[in-house]
Structure 1
Amino acid sequence: MSYKLRCVHCGRTYEPNEVLYTCPVCGPRLGTLEVVYDTLPTETNFDLEHKGIWAFSDFLPVKKNHFEVPLLVGNTPLYEKKELAKEMGLANLYIKDDGRNPTASYKDRASALAIAKAKELGYDTVYCASTGNAASSLSGLAAASGIKSVIFVPKAAPQAKITQLLVYGATVIAVDGSYDDAFDLSLQVGEEFGWYCRNSAINPYLLEGKKTGAMEAAYQLDWNIPDVAMVSVGDGTVVSSIYKGFRDLKEAGITNKIPKIIGVQAEGANAVMRTFESGIYDKPQDMKASSMADSISVGKPRDVLKACKYVESSGGKFISVSDEEIGKAIVEMARKTGVFAEPAGATTYAGLKKISKELLGMSVVLFITGNGLKDINTVRSYVGQVHVVKPELQAAKEVLKDAGAI
């Protein structure tokens, strides 16, 4: 696919061999690049079942005989929830469950592209900074692809996610600081040793992998684009990718509209929302982030400019929810839909609950970005207790009666 890289801030365009990551004029924060294709295909028949995200190869910045991670990334289920839609007054409600990816998160889409580009460019080591999901995604897909991974995480990252990294054989550096500290250190180390960068926003190709989630949803809906698409927001790349996926389909003439994109942030980590509401996108409203939703607990979002511009272009907005609302949303969504999400994934559902009255009569798709098994400790306080009984029928009946099960 023939393409160029365009700076979201200044609009300068570059050939792929001119720059690797960001606009040299605007710098690494504001100079994030977007992939702009010379032409887009009009093909509408995609083999998701066997190819996953690579079914959309003609929409991706890869060569014809590109490397494909030997795991099925993408082709995640899209569930229609008619009863819940009726309960909320929506025309339709769909849940796109990306917790079903190989390492149980949406980030596998980005990592697959990063590894494909690393292989294309001749790198043998890929690195990233992460609160957990990008790290486990990169380490898992790198292991399957015969490439080394070095991961920088904040020391407070959930142990389940860190364990994933170690199981996959990644070199893990736990930074005694925040995600933003880990991010900055990773860039210094990666540049020092000449490794390939998989960091969000720094690498323009990650968004292209992530946009396949939106393209899959559109395909699974027979190109009937919903009115609203909602997704949780940390660095800003995933929410940007949802817009980009729908935009590419519209520009190709395959669909006729782009949904309103609503980004949902945790109240303690809502820097993108603050920047959006300020109206001055090139002056990010950074903050000290704190949230139970570790995957989106980002105080210095790196893709803030793109996220704000794309969401505005869609006619959407950003909202934020409390940790308490997120915790309750994990449980409620699991019990009403059967989808168990990690805190960042359930943030989207918490956002829907908060503004459902604004969406009456609309069709909505929720993108769930991570599986709940990645962080079971956080949700433990929001659920009931295990009932311990003696191995006797009467004892079991008494407990069942007290619990309201009989």
Structure 2
Amino acid sequence: MFALYNPPIKQIKRWSRKMKVLTMKCMKCEKEYPEAADRYVCDDCGIDGILDIVYDYSSIKISREEIAASKNYSLWRYRKMLPVADTTDIPPLQVGWTPLYRARSVEKLLELDNVYIKDDGRNPTASLKDRASAVGIAKAREAGAKTICAASTGNAASSLAGFAASAGLKTVIFVPKRAPRAKVAQLLVYGAKTVIVDDTYDRAFELSVEITKKFGLYNRNCAYNPFLVEGKKTVAYEMWEQMGFDLPDRVYVSIGDGCITSGIYKGFYDLMQLGLTNRMPRIIGVQAAGCNPVEVALKTGEFVAQDGNTIADSIAVGIPRNRLKAMRALKNSNGDCISVTDDEIRSALLEMPRATGVFGEPAGVTAFAGFKKHALAKDIGTTEKVVVLITGNGLKDIESAISVCTMPAPVASDSATIEAHVKTLI
């Protein structure tokens, strides 16, 4: 535990000259703003005008050798590529450097040569959202914040609560009434001031922005605060490094607000601009059929808000707030967005852990369901290198896991009965 550090004005100015950020540019009208830790959206475009962090890549000197030599096995091994000052206190929880597994059983089953599972459920609060929270807490410190606000379907909320607790900061968090009990329990255990909104995630998001402005809080919403995507991009750096400084041909990822998709693209884009790679992997977004506004927009060119009806609560987002960046990621990577049914997601809840040993929540295995759908349709080349990104651990929504299993009935404890019963199992 460490105390909140409030940096003096003069030091913030000195830091700004050291930073690698050129500007913050509106994704909608392209208006530019100087970097500020508490600058969120465009003044002219409002909440739809989320900003993009634009770097001066010539100012960043980094090599494969330097990265490989690092003994910091967390996302901070890439600190030179993040918009966080060298002197900023970072939260103590170790986040990132999650395992990348070769899925040989899946390769054999689907007749593919190179399939990998990136398990981001291994982060401190069990989801990829910890990458964003780590950077968000650092930026909150730079802004001199004491209380942080956010809205979430569950994972971002529990992530913020955990990281804020580790840094001695307060939180006010809004979650929709459908948030899984396990995720709400995490918030309460971490001491977050939790507001369960009797409405959808989209309304919870709107309320969090209103409260941020009303009470002068620091906002952690990844689809509102542009610095959060910069934390999520580190998962792309890790894929590259863990594959021997090589790139996958395609990455499958579930889409809700579109922030993780945006982060993957930003990470691979950074690597190209730094001269560390020379191509962009295809990013394949996967949505639930009951909530697929990004898929519809990519195919029709028109965005239409939806209700968000799916078992995969983490991606039940009818109004993706980071849709502009997500659409850029899919288009510029020559990617695609597909959807899978809730039945396909339920099947993946069992199929993926039984084939890989990795336990994912519904939103996490949605990416695997989409990958399997493409594989069975022969839309993936046999020799393509494929990474399926699992964004959250299955324990985040244990009720969904239980719903697809048959719980065994108790068996009498005498040896004869047990032996007879085991014979039926083997």
Structures share a fold, TM > 0.5? yes
Asked if 1:32 corresponds to 2:50, the answer is yes
For residues 15-26 of structure 1, the aligned pairs below 5 Å read 15-17=34-36, 20-26=39-45
Asked if 1:312 corresponds to 2:334, the answer is no
Tell me the equivalent position of 1:245: 267
Give the one of 342, 351, 361 matched to 1:323.
342
Deviation at 1:372, TM superposition (A): 0.2
The normalised TM-score by structure 1 is 0.96
Q: Which runs of 5+ in 1 are unaligned?
A: none
Asked if 1:167 corresponds to 2:189, the answer is yes
Deviation at 1:392, TM superposition (A): 1.1
Q: Which runs of 5+ in 2 are unaligned?
A: 1-18
Give the one of 242, 255, 276 matched to 1:254.
276
Asked if 1:111 corresponds to 2:133, the answer is yes
Tell me the equivalent position of 1:367: 389
For the 8 Å contact 2:412–2:418, the answer to whether it is kept is: yes
For the 8 Å contact 1:54–1:68, the answer to whether it is kept is: no
Asked if 1:342 corresponds to 2:364, the answer is no
SS in 1 for 2:35: coil
Tell me the equivalent position of 1:126: 148
For 1:235-272, what per-residue CA distance to the aligned partner results, in whole angstroms no more than 9, with x for missing partners? Answer: 00101111111110111111121110000001111111
Give the one of 33, 36, 41 matched to 2:61.
41
Tell me the equivalent position of 2:9: none
Alignment partners' CA distance in 2, 1:48 and 1:390: 55
The normalised TM-score by structure 2 is 0.91
Deviation at 1:139, TM superposition (A): 0.1
For the 8 Å contact 1:41–1:59, the answer to whether it is kept is: no
SS in 2 for 1:375: helix
Q: What is the total number of aligned residue pairs between the two structures?
A: 400
Tell me the equivalent position of 1:279: 301
Letter of the structure 1 residue corresponding to residue 61 of structure 2: P
For the 8 Å contact 1:90–1:364, the answer to whether it is kept is: no
Letter of the structure 2 residue corresponding to residue 24 of structure 1: D
The two structures, once aligned, show a CA RMSD in angstroms of 1.4
In the superposition, relative to structure 1, how do residues 255 and 317 fare at CA in structure 2: closer, same or farther (>3 Å)? Answer: same
**4+ residue runs over 4 A deviation:** none
SS in 2 for 1:247: helix
Asked if 1:354 corresponds to 2:398, the answer is no
Deviation at 1:48, TM superposition (A): 6.5
Instruction: State which drifts further: 207-216 or 249-258.
Output: 249-258
For the 8 Å contact 2:346–2:362, the answer to whether it is kept is: yes
Tell me the equivalent position of 2:309: 290
SS in 1 for 2:41: coil
Alignment partners' CA distance in 2, 1:123 and 1:19: 9
Deviation at 1:68, TM superposition (A): 1.1
Alignment partners' CA distance in 2, 1:255 and 1:189: 42
Tell me the equivalent position of 1:138: 160
Alignment partners' CA distance in 1, 2:282 and 2:25: 23
In the superposition, relative to structure 1, how do residues 365 and 187 fare at CA in structure 2: closer, same or farther (>3 Å)? Answer: same
Tell me the equivalent position of 1:54: 76
Alignment partners' CA distance in 2, 1:90 and 1:25: 49
